[in-house]
Every structure is written in structure tokens, then in C-alpha cells.
Amino acid sequence: MALIRLGFGRQHLYLLRRRSFLLSKLIAVVFAVLLFCEFLIYYLVIFRCDWPEVKTPAHNSGQETLKAMFLADTHLLGEIRGHWLDKLRREWQMERAFQTALWLLQPEVVFILGDIFDEGKWSSPQAWADDVERFQKIFRHPRHVLLKVVAGNHDIGFHYQMSTYKIKRFEKVFNPERLFSWKGINFVMVNSVALEGDGCNLCSEAEAEIIEISHKLNCSREHFPLYRRSDANCSGDDAAPLEERDIPFKERYDALSREASQKLLWWLRPRLVLSGHTHSACEVLHGAGTMEISVPSFSWRNRNNPSFIMGMLTPTEYALAKCYLPYENTVLATYCVAVGFLAVLTLAHFKLLASPLLFGWNLLRKLKTT
């Protein structure tokens, strides 16, 4: 009787050890997958991004260079639109991407080209305060790194929704400075939403500000892209989908009006324009050789392959490079493979999954008998 009990105890202990070993393996796999998909993948992908080289003429070889990052359309969800899980996921992705980029690339200044929030144009004071708090957590940065933000239509509304209250609320959080100069490079942050051209008070103020500083500017940053008919001539992995490229742009909605664009180019005479709003990449060469770069959305809610622009700037030259972030479908595929692997481990542990050799042997025997 004692031997039977001893044998039963050993068998029970053996089963407990096997289950503990299985649990340890499952936990290890889950931890490894989470570590890769939620942390390491950002380092592995952004590590491949390099700052471009500026070709400086020999007589200007002593010029300082400025490292600038440009991203757009973060669209932090508010209290009305979007599921809480979607909000949590997208904000975690942007936080990890931004913090990893700061650590690896060490930019000196970061520009966000509008649509910081998704619901800023209609959010209540409390919702606005909550959104701002989350933004400051996600896009926290060291003191020596400057963060410059441009207003977008989702932040203050389109022309017919815009108000002095919304603009002042935005400018209270984000420095309303229109002209920004560093290392001999001048930037202007344009409230392109106000460039409606209908003589409204806010529009007149915006135009007056631009005219006042127009003689000092070399570069321009804005939310709305300058006028173009469509994205038909845009190309690249992060351009608009093929089926959308030939859809005509609506003036004052998808892009600035032709008149407002001509005014900006005439007033500012910029050597480079960067804009957001469309969520897709595009390069457009305007009159007098002015290059405009549309920066894709930084949010995985808007794109499977978000990216940002890295710029090396001097007072006379510039060079740009694009840094892609992890593809959403790569992360999802990794999780699917991990789930399948966990299922195989579990089935094999409980001997519900035959080994490949045994399966092959049984299949061969079956074929011989037939």
C-alpha cells in the first residue's frame, strides 16, 4: 500500500513539474514577443535611419548645421471618437517611436505640422486639458531639444469653425511664435487654416503677420499643402493609394486655394516648404523652383507605414531623408505566428499533436496498405 502511494506521489510531482515547465515556456515566449513587438522593433527599425549629408560649397564650409525632425498628423483621439483600446494602442506606438527616435537620432528641433489632436476643434475645456496632458507625456523631450507645433484644422477647426477662443487656447499651450531662427536658419510657422482670403478678421491678422516677416524668411512650415490638383504625380511607398491619387483636391479643404498658395510663395519666397494634412507623402515643385514636401501621418491609425522627415539644414543648403517606422502588418504577423507557436507547444505538451516523424510513418504505412 505504501509503495502504491509513493508511486502516485511521484507521478503527481512529475505532472506538476511538466505543467510548470510548460507554463514557464509559454511565459517566456509571450514575454519575448511583447518585448520585440512593443520595444525592440522600434530600435531595430529606426536604427537604420541616418541623417543626410549636406553638400556645402567650399566657401561656406564653416557653416553650422541644424538637425531637424518633421512629423505630422498625430491625431490623438479625444473622448468622443475612437475606442479606448484603439486610443491606448496608437498612443503607445507613437510614444515608443518618438522616444526611440529622440534617443537614437538626437535631433535639435522637432516640428509637428498640424492636427496634433483629432477632436480639438470641438473638445470641451476638460477634454482639451486631458488631451494636452497626454500629448505632453507622449512627446516629452529634453530641455535642449526644441518642439515647435503648427495648428491644423483638427486642432482649431476649418475656416468656418475657427474662432479666437480656439486659436488662443491652442497658442496658450504651444508657443504662438510665427518666426523662429536658429543657427542662421529662419522658419515660419503658418496658420494655413486662416488663409481663406475672404477678409475675415482672423484671416486678415494671419496675412498681416506673414507680410510683416516676409522679408526675413528662408523656410516655411505649414499644415495645409500648397495648391495642387491632386496626388496624381506623387509616388513612393507612403504616397496616397493608387485608387485615390487621381481624385481632385478641393481648394480650402484638401489644399490651400491657388490664390493663397501664390500669395505665400510670393510673400515668403521660401527655398523649402513642408506640410501635413493629407496623411500621405508627396513632392511638388512649385514656381521658381520651390520644393514642397508633404509629410505623411505619424499615426498608425492613418497609415500602415508611418514615417517622418530628417533634415540637415544650413543657412544656404538643406538635405532631407525619410525614416520609416515599423509596419503595422509586420507586428500583427509576428503576434499571429507567436499565437500559433504557443498553440503547438500546448498541444504537444498534452500529446494532442503527433510528432512529424510519427505522422510521416503512419502516413507511409497507410499508403502501403492501399
Considering the domain architecture, whether residues 13 and 43 belong to the same structural domain is answered as no
Most confident by average pLDDT, 234-248, 306-320, 344-358: 306-320
Residue 138, C-beta contacts closer than 8 angstroms, at least 6 positions apart: 74, 76, 91, 94, 95, 98
CA distances from 73 to 65, 178, 216 (A): 26, 19, 28
The answer to whether residues 16 and 137 belong to one domain is no
Q: Are residues 151 and 283 in the same domain?
A: yes
Q: Which residues pair with 219 in a beta bridge?
A: 187, 272
- Whether 11 and 45 map to the same domain: the answer is no
Angle at 351 (CA atoms; ends 350, 354), nearest 5 degrees: 150
* Domain co-membership, 230 together with 359: no
How many residues does this entry show for the chain? 370
CA 291 to chain centre: 22
| Sign of torsion over alpha carbons 231, 235, 237, 242 | positive
Contact 316, 272 (CB under 8 A): no
The residue to which cell 499643402 is assigned: 225
Spatial neighbors of 193 by CB under 8 A, at least 6 apart, are: 151, 152, 153, 156, 157, 158, 159, 162, 223, 224
What pLDDT score was predicted for residue 3? Answer: 46
Domain membership of residue 302 (yes or no) is yes
Amino acid at 228: R
Return the SS3 of 172.
helix
Number of domains in the chain: 2
pLDDT-derived band of residue 135, with 50, 70 and 90 as boundaries? Answer: very high
| 272 lies in some domain | yes
Q: Is residue 50 part of a domain?
A: yes
Given a contact cutoff of 8 angstroms between Cβ atoms, the answer to whether 141 and 107 are in contact is: no
Task: Report which DSSP code applies to 351.
Answer: T
Q: For a pLDDT cut of 90, what percent of the chain falls above it?
A: 42
- Structure pTM? 0.84
Compute the C-alpha angle 274/300/195, nearest 5°.
35
DSSP element (H, E) containing 58: none
pLDDT of residue 25: 85
pLDDT at 50 > cutoff 60: yes
pLDDT tens digits along 172-224: 999 877 888 899 888 888 877 767 666 667 777 777 777 777 655 555 666 66
Do 288 and 264 fall within a single domain?
yes
Give the pLDDT confidence score for residue 68 in this predicted structure: 97
Between 326 and 255, residue with greater pLDDT:
326
More confident position, 225 or 312: 312
pLDDT, position 288: 74
Residue 1 lies in a domain: no
What count of Cα atoms within 13 Å lies in the side-chain half-sphere of residue 2?
A: 0
**Mean pLDDT of the 128-136 span:** 95
Q: Which of 105-109, 199-203, 259-263, 280-284 has the highest mean pLDDT?
A: 105-109
Do 17 and 122 lie in one domain? The reply is: no
Domain shared by 135 and 14, yes or no = no
What integer pLDDT is reported at residue 262 of this predicted model?
A: 79
**Domain encompassing residue 281:** 39-326
pLDDT of residue 46: 97
User: For the chain, how far is it from start to end, CA to CA, in angstroms?
Assistant: 50
Instruction: Specify the CATH number for the domain of residue 104.
Output: 3.60.21.10
**CB-based contacts of 149: which residues, under 8 Å, 6+ apart?**
111, 112, 116, 174, 175, 189
Both 196 and 246 in one domain: the answer is yes
- Does one domain contain both 107 and 184? yes
Phi, psi dihedrals of residue 148, rounded to the nearest 5°: -115, 130
Within a domain: 171:
yes
Strands (E), the chain: 66-71, 109-113, 146-150, 179-182, 185-190, 219-222, 272-275, 282-285, 291-294, 307-313, 318-324
The answer to whether residues 158 and 58 belong to one domain is yes
Please tell me whether residues 334 and 316 are part of one structural domain: no
Grid look-up 495645409 returns 224
